[in-house]
């Protein structure tokens, strides 16, 4: 599909852009352009692609997404390489997961090549917006929603796919410092058969109250337990978890349909195995977590995701009080795999997996 390039009447002046890039924060600064692709069942599906100025969109108040939340998104980053070129990390995995989410939400799939082309187009237009700070990157947010004006409950016939980009620094204010986790007892994130494995807005909306509860208790993130037994550790609001033990084994919760199959998670499983650790995808309970942290059997806990990269969990605040993981600092293995992962993403480590895609 050809992308129509719309002129930009007033791109951000270079000095303003450079000033904004000094302290991008996370998700509050946006680039000049966006991609929009329209879908209409009656017009043969995906039919119109544009790269144009990033601007407000107009929506009919009856647009299905505003009522029934038919919406999905992805999160990925473009990383500056040592030679100043840019690269993506496993973007085909994001394209695939986008379509997995689309199927779960009864939405049309977007051809993987079109997804990837939209990213090439936007990054080419906004490449000056990639922070040069070593901790910075260009966060890419592809999303799709039901735009059809119709109030009956059925899959919409019209959708919009939009891609925007946001220059970012670290997700957590403390950078890679250990975070404190709140164990949510009153709320769960996803139940078996629900939408937990899809990257759809409703999962995040449902996490806001427990997240606020965690913040009230001085924590940075919430860990959700399974909805049935309220016992098994699932994931954080936006990150997967790994538990590192003193006998060289590692546990990460299995993909049972209630957690997001993280691309960082999959990458870490491989990187940890390459470090000689035995990684098992199996259930791990909140009580065991506390017991293993207390006896010292558990050395480290790490949270991982595109936005948070690899972040150590230092302290956990549960219903039975607080416990500390290791010394409460950043564990050795957390540092090691974080360096390896970031090295691969930033082109400083030889990519023997074929994970990076040069732009």
Taking the complex as a whole, the smallest distance from the CB of residue 111 to ligand PLP amounts, in Å, to 20
Measured in whole angstroms, how far is the alpha carbon of residue 13 from the centre of its chain? 30
Taking the complex as a whole, the smallest distance from the CB of residue 329 to ligand PLP amounts, in Å, to 23
What is the three-state SS of 219-265?
A: CCEEEEECCCCCCEEEEECCCEEEEEECCCEEEECCCCCCCCCCHHH
The residues in 306-335 that bind ligand PLP, with binding defined as CB under 6 A, are: 306
Residue 157 in tokens: 């016939």
Pick the stretch among 166-174, 175-183, 257-265, 280-288 that binds ligand PLP (CB under 6 A). Answer: 257-265
- Which of 305, 314, 326, 331 is close enough to bind ligand PLP by CB under 6 A? 305
In whole angstroms, give the CA distance from residue 102 to residue 87.
Answer: 25
Name the residue nearer to ligand COI (CB basis): 97 or 340: 97
Taking the complex as a whole, the smallest distance from the CB of residue 293 to ligand COI amounts, in Å, to 25
Binding partner at 316 among ligand COI, ligand PLP, none, C-beta below 5 to 8 Å by kind: none
Taking the complex as a whole, the smallest distance from the CB of residue 263 to ligand PLP amounts, in Å, to 4
Name the residue nearer to ligand PLP (CB basis): 39 or 115: 115
In whole angstroms, give the CA distance from residue 156 to residue 71.
Answer: 11
Binding partner at 235 among ligand PLP, ligand COI, none, C-beta below 5 to 8 Å by kind: ligand PLP
In whole angstroms, give the CA distance from residue 18 to residue 132.
Answer: 10
Partners of 39 in beta bridges: 46, 159
Binding partner at 25 among ligand PLP, ligand COI, none, C-beta below 5 to 8 Å by kind: none
DSSP 6: P
For 338-345, the CB contacts below 8 A with 24+ separation are 338/176, 338/302, 338/309, 338/310, 340/271, 341/264, 341/267, 341/268, 341/271, 341/309, 341/310, 342/309, 344/89, 345/77, 345/79, 345/87, 345/89, 345/137
Query: Is residue 191 classed as helix, strand or coil in its secondary structure?
Result: coil
- Per CB under 6 A, does 223 bind ligand PLP? no
- Per CB under 6 A, does 263 bind ligand PLP? yes
In whole angstroms, give the CA distance from residue 224 to residue 235.
Answer: 6
- Which of 53, 75, 155, 257 is close enough to bind ligand PLP by CB under 6 A? 75
Name the residue nearer to ligand COI (CB basis): 101 or 356: 101
- Which of 118, 211, 252, 264 is close enough to bind ligand PLP by CB under 6 A? 264
Binding partner at 121 among ligand PLP, ligand COI, none, C-beta below 5 to 8 Å by kind: none
Q: Residue numbers of the site for ligand PLP (CB under 6 A)?
A: 75, 235, 238-240, 260, 262-265, 305-306
């Amino acid at each position: 599909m050809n992308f129509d390039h719309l002129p930009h009447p007033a791109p951000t002046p270079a000095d303003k852009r450079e000033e904004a890039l000094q302290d991008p924060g996370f998700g509050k600064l946006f680039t000049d352009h966006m991609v929009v692709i329209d879908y209409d069942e009656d017009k043969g599906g995906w039919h119109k692609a544009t790269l144009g100025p990033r601007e407000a969109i107009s929506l009919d108040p009856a647009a299905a997404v505003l009522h029934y939340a038919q919406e999905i998104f992805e999160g990925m980053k473009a990383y500056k390489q040592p030679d100043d070129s840019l690269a993506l990390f496993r973007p085909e995995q994001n394209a695939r997961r986008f379509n997995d989410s689309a199927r779960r939400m009864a939405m049309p799939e977007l051809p993987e090549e079109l997804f990837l082309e939209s990213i090439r187009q936007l990054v080419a237009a906004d490449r000056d917006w990639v922070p040069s700070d070593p901790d910075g990157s260009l966060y890419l947010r592809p999303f799709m929603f039901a735009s059809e004006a119709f109030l009956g409950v059925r899959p919409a016939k019209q959708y919009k796919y939009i891609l925007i980009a946001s220059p970012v620094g670290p997700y957590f204010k403390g950078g890679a410092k250990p975070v404190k986790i709140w164990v949510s007892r009153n709320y769960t994130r996803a139940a078996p058969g629900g939408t937990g494995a899809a990257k759809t807005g409703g999962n995040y909306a449902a996490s806001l109250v427990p997240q606020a509860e965690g913040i009230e208790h001085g924590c940075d993130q919430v860990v959700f337990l399974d909805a049935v037994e309220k016992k098994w550790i699932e994931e954080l609001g936006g990150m997967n978890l790994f538990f590192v033990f003193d006998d060289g084994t590692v546990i990460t919760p299995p993909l049972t349909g209630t957690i997001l199959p993280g691309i960082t998670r999959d990458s870490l499983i491989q990187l940890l195995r390459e470090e000689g650790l035995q990684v098992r995808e199996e259930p791990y309970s909140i009580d065991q977590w506390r017991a293993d942290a207390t006896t010292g059997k558990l050395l480290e806990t790490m949270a991982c995701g595109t936005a948070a990269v690899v972040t150590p969990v230092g302290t956990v605040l549960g219903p039975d009080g607080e416990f500390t993981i290791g010394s409460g600092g950043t564990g050795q293995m957390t540092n090691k795999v974080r360096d390896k992962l970031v090295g691969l993403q930033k082109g400083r480590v030889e990519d023997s997996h074929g994970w990076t895609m040069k732009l």
